[in-house]
Structures are given as C-alpha cells and as structure tokens.
Amino acid sequence: MNMFAVAIGGAFGAVARYLFGLLIMNRFPHPRVPVAMLFVNVLGSFGLGLFFGLIYGEIPEYVYDDTWFLVAGIGFFGAFTTFSTFSVETVELVRKGSYKKVWIYVSLSLLGSLLTFITGLHIGELL
C-alpha cells in the first residue's frame, strides 16, 4: 500500500512538473539562466514546507508510514522538484564557461528553495 501511495503522488507530481515547466518555458523562451526548473524547485520547496506546517505543525522525525507524507511529501513533491535536472543544467552552464550564470543559478536555486521551504513551513504552522 505504501508504494501505491508514493506512486500516485509521484504520477501527479511528475505531470505537474512537466506542465509547469512548459508554462514557464513558454513565458520565458530564452532565459539567461534555466528558470523553468528554478521556479519548479522553489515552488515545490514552498509547497513541501507548507504541507509540513499545515499537516504536522513541524518537521516530524518519523513519518515514513504516514499515508499523507507518502502521497504528498515523497510522491508529489519528490516528483515535482528535481535535483537531477538542476545538476544537468548547472553542468551545462559550466561547460559553456558561463560561471556568472552558474553562480546565479545555483545561489537562487539553493537559497530560494531553502527560504521558500522555511516560509511555507511557518505559514503552515500559523494556519
């Protein structure tokens, strides 16, 4: 049952990432840095923080048997956000010698994701 919960959430998360990525790429067809996955990862981090805050009121230590966490935390947000694509895009920028863009992309991705997760967590705790 646990694998089914993760699979259901993951299916929705992967489709949402694809559609949101397309939307961003259509809106910004020639960005200086890869904004589609930047937005996806930052939004997904906010959503995961909000989820933790709303459902648990904190970051729980042991949730791997909780159905909501399996569906949303691991499944949906795990499939929606993508560290692997972030890595590919970062390496592409390095190979092109675009070191300023690498610094901007990595900084915005990491700091943005952390800050939006914390923000989502706090908002969720307050609601």
| pLDDT tens-digit map of 44-98 | 999 999 999 999 999 888 888 899 999 999 999 999 999 999 999 999 999 999 9
Query: Which residues, 6+ apart, have CB-to-CB distance to 93 below 8 Å?
Result: 33, 34, 99, 101, 102, 105
At 112, list the tokens.
């943005």
Binding residues for Na(+): 78, 81
Residue 122: per-residue pLDDT: 97
| pLDDT tens-digit map of 96-124 | 999 999 999 999 999 999 999 999 999 99
Binding residues: 78, 81
Q: How is residue 109 annotated by DSSP? A: H
The backbone torsions φ and ψ at residue 59, rounded to the nearest 5 degrees and listed phi first, read: -95, 100
Query: Which residues, 6+ apart, have CB-to-CB distance to 9 below 8 Å?
Result: 70, 71, 72, 74, 75, 76, 78, 79
| pLDDT tens-digit map of 35-46 | 999 999 999 999
Q: How confident is the model at residue 5 (pLDDT cuts 50, 70, 90)?
A: very high
